Amino acid sequence: MTNSSIDETERRKSFRIDMEKELVDIVWTDSNGNQRQKKIACLDFSRGGLRLDCDQAIDANTAVTVVFKQAAAKSQTLDGKVLRCIQQDSGWFEIALVLVDRD
C-alpha cells in the first residue's frame, strides 16, 4: 500500500463532526477570474476537509477559503481545494473540500 492510499484510508476513518448545516462563508475565484462570495451550509467537518451544500457548482481544484462565524471577533478561516462537486437530485451541489496549508 502506498503512502497516499494509507493517508486516504486514515482520512476516511477519521472522526467527522456533523455540522447540522451550520452556515459558513466561502470565497473563491470562478473560471472567469471573478471573486465570488457565498453563505452556504456546512454538512460535516473532518481532519482532512469539509462537505458543503451549495446552490451552484464550483469546479474541481478551485481554491476556496472558508470562514466560520465571519461576523464574530474570533472567526476561523480555513483554506481548501474542491476535491469533487456532485449535483444532487434536489439540483443543489455537494462539494467536498480537502484542507490545504496556507502559504
- CATH number for position 14: 2.40.10.220
pLDDT (0 to 100) of residue 76: 86
pLDDT (0 to 100) of residue 95: 96
pLDDT (0 to 100) of residue 103: 66
The domain of 78 spans 3-99
pLDDT (0 to 100) of residue 8: 46
pLDDT (0 to 100) of residue 90: 94
User: Could you report the average pLDDT of every consecutive run of 10 residues in the chain (103 residues)?
Assistant: 43 51 90 94 87 95 90 81 96 95 76
What is the number of structural domains in the chain? 1
Residue 52 class from Cβ within 10 Å (0-12 exposed, 13-18 middle, 19+ buried)? buried
Cα distances from 17 to residues 4, 48, 88, 98, 103, in angstroms, run 23, 12, 21, 15, 26
**Predicted structure pTM score:** 0.76
